[in-house]
Structure 1
Amino acid sequence: MEYLTGFGNHFATQAVEGALPVGRNSPQRPAFGLYAEQFSTTAFTAPRAENRRSWLYRLRPAASHPPFRPLDAASRLATAPLERGAVDPNRLRWSALSMPDRPTDWLEGLTTYGGNGDAASGAGIGVHLYAANRSMERRAVQFSDGELLVVPQIGTLSITTELGRLEVPPGHVALIPRGLRFAVQLAGPSRGYVCENYGAPFRLPDLGPIGSNGLANPRDFEAPVAWFEDVEDDFQVIQKFQGHLWQTTLDHSPFDVVAWHGNSAPLRYDLARFNTIGTISFDHPDPSIFTVLTSPSDTPGTANCDFVIFPPRWMVAEDTFRPPWFHRNVMSEFMGLIHGEYDAKQGPKDGKGGFEPGGASLHNQMNGHGPDAVSTQAAMQAELKPVKLEDTLAFMFESRSVIAPTKAALALNELQRDYDDCWGGFEKARIP
């Protein structure tokens, strides 16, 4: 499958030669009788450097559909502001979601674990996990409340969007713009994580003193080439709008964009291409040094959401406690593990619980957390020599606001109610 490369680039691609107009975005008569449609994910008047929009040339306008009506279906998908009581300060951890025992597609398999902010006011995030075992057939979905950052953990996702197709295996992520219609096909049982970003669109972080190179490189992000299908058959379109699911039925495929150009597009990124930066002298660097994407807030330097990864890397710092230190901070952290072992949660190995691939943890702002007792003792006693952490890939959705867990997440069998025990067994320091 071919891809276009770059983050924020203005792409131009056509599935049929001559479909793209030359020199005009919305000509009076587009080629082949196509319809010109602008897709905007920022305000029209956003500064040019931040403005995101694409022009689509399609077989039928997206506006051509019957009214949406409420979708009467049981769903564990929720949107901030969440209905909630008092949010307690306790740290939470879940084992990996069980695979469904009945046919379940990607949309049906979503469970909201938590969220913050308010989708209606354009601030905050929703955090979802999915477990699914069948493809979306003759069905598409659009999330109008926020853009999606999809992180597969098991199973490759084949994501068909209005602008083309993405293959997203574990170890990659997909970024799907707010309001874009898409469908997810599966090759088998699949599981993973989703951040629904209600705030400013994700962008690459500024590098500051790092300079011009490092972290995620723009050229490594891949957008799809134009692809379309001309299918005349009933097709269900589901829209998530203001926290509720709505549906309508088309008499044709919504994936009928023959050509497009612009800079608002779905993207995929291979996390193995992240250029990890770290210390070569002493002290463990702040986790912000591992930021792949950021959604800024109105407070400079304090993100609505950061997407941070902990990939394979060399550890060489001298006289240093190398795992993440114990800390309390103003950011709230929702963490997941794609594969391997996280270096701050190494034990105990009892075959149950623990921080396992597909699992998740939530540490809200100003509540102490850090390595478990086993990891702490190992790090304090280790002979410090260069060591490469391999076969590991963890990540965080980190937000400036408290992430309130949902009632559904707190009722899951996968919730580890003994999570606090991992910080037991610390010996008291001895003062001479």
Structure 2
Amino acid sequence: MPNPQDALPLPPRPSLERYRKLAKELVKAGKSHDGNAISEWTNRWIETLAQRAGSKPSLADANRTESFAREKLAEKCTLTNAQFVIARSHGFESWPKFTRHMEALTRENSSVGRFEAAADAIVTGKLSVLQRLLHEDPPLVRMRSTREHQATLLLYVAANGVENYRQKTPKNIVQITNLLLEAGAEIDATANVYGGGATTLGLAATSIHPELAGVQEPLLQTLLDHGATIDQPRTAGNNHPAVLGCLANGRTKAAAFLASRGAGLTLESAAGIGRLDLAKSYFNDDGALKPSATRKQLESGFRYACLYGHTGMVEFLLERGVDPATQGDDGQTGLHCAVIGGHLNTVKILLQHNPPLEMKNIYGGTVFGQTLWSAAHGGDPEIYIGIIETLIAAGAELPARHVPVNPRIDGWLEQHGSYAEPNWYWFGEEPRSNAEKDELGNY
């Protein structure tokens, strides 16, 4: 199934008849002996959507949709399955729900049309448009989306969990949030995303968009001021409470902010935000864990401390007997996590405890391989050269060939006997066409 967040946008003035025709064309492509027929169908559809929306066609959308269409039509090449592909690709659970949504959009002043317009107004910062819509249709503020996630309008301010093309944070999002709440929005309404139970507070805290817009803390404070529950067990999705959800998504500032506002902390989350004072309270004088903490929390907290460079916390937990070889569900050890975060001092502390250098994560990456991947995906070359030097000095194997990283690191590695292989690509990133090659670059 496609991720509901990957929903394709509907074009302006969508036609249900066009979509019925599109489904029939997909069936025809699926029955064709031409192996490229489904790919060509997908590309035409994505290009048409992009043209009508005035945007560039997305290769990721095309690849994802093509893969899903091939999967469903391989099960059974029927009109029902083709219609399901289209409905799911737009974020709806079924073709009947999709058609009801489309039919509602054609009715003048329908509540569905108003909801869609209000959602667009929220993510584009059009406060006056939102005010007008709420004035004309007061129940709108508690209505839910007809898409799978069933989000209320307030949940759209989080820029998380809903369709990706609406995950945007305008600078006036706090004003918009206040408007919605004063109009009667339910503060702790949940959305059917990330396993269910996610609230606006949890989604906003774990979203990168409010952070990049520089409004995350004011937005969170506004929600708290209006009574948002800070410690619902699944508020951040994936069964995560707020602070832990922030740590799992790289939102360390939001994690610390919520902790300062009274969010509950376990040993795991205390370690993740570097609260050594609180972490100590989970151990007896002899170094043994108290019943209020678990070994799983200890090991996960250790990896978070490594990931975010809380070196003092890492030293403390190592002294309390945590195994540096402990792996998370993704196979990452503390050392893997430290190199992902680019924390050289943490790497040096870990190396004093003889962690395994060649242990692999679920992607097949050793610590050295993870270092190169992290450097290739936005890491500071100078920091990562220091990490590479340190790992090699500790005995990490230097491969004779490696996937291209960046000119600075590739040059350093070549001087030390490892050569970039120009035809190698990072896992999952090998281009499938010349156009995709242009978009991805040389990785």
What TM-score range do you get, normalising by the shorter chain? under 0.3
How high is the TM-score relative to the length of structure 1? 0.24
Larger helix percent: 2
How high is the TM-score relative to the length of structure 2? 0.24
Higher-RCO chain (CA-CA 8 Å, sequence separation at least 6): 1
